[in-house]
Amino acid sequence: MKNNSKAEPQCSRCGIEYAFKRIGGKYKARILWNLKTGDQLRFGELLRTLPDVSTKMLTQALRELEIDNLIIRKVYHQVPPKVEYTLTESGRELLPFFKHLDDWASSQMANEVSSLDNE
C-alpha cells in the first residue's frame, strides 16, 4: 500500500508528478481508457483486453486505482463471483486528456512511418 494521502509539499508546479503517480503505471492508463465507454467491465474482461497483463499486476493496478478514487469496484456476492469496475467522476475527468493523447499518438505514428524511424 503505497498511498500517500499527504499533498506534495515542495513542488506546487509538479501536479504532473502527482498525476503520473496515479496513471503512470504500465497498465493503469490503458485500464482507464478501456473503461471510457462508461460501461462496467469485469475482471476477466479487463484481463483479456490487456494482452500482456497478469492477474497479479491487474489486481494491483486495480487496487491502486481504487485507492486513488479513479475507479469503483462493485462486488456481487454470488456463487460465481462477479466484480465490475467503473470510472469515478475523477476518473471520467481524465478522459479528455486521454482522448487528446490518443490523437497525438496517432499523428506521431503516422509521422513516424513516413520518415525513417523505428525503436
Residues 44-73 that bind DNA (CB under 7 A): 44-45, 52-57, 59, 62-63, 73
Q: How far is CA 113 from CA 75, 96, 108, in A?
A: 44, 26, 9
**Which of 42, 49, 72, 86: binder of DNA (CB under 7 A)?**
42
Q: How many residues does the chain have?
A: 119
Check binding of 17 to DNA (CB under 7 A): no
When the beta carbons of 15 and 44 are compared against DNA, the nearer one is 44
Q: How far is residue 116's CA from residue 118's CA, in Å, rounded to a whole number?
A: 7
Check binding of 15 to DNA (CB under 7 A): no
> Exposure of 95 by Cβ count < 10 A (0-12 exposed, 13-18 middle, 19+ buried)?
middle
How far from each other are the two terminal CA atoms of the chain, in whole angstroms?
A: 34
Contact residues for a copy of itself, defined by CB under 8 A: 1, 3-5, 7-8, 10, 13-20, 22, 24, 26, 29-30, 33, 51, 67, 69, 90, 93-94, 96-98, 100-106, 108-109, 111-119
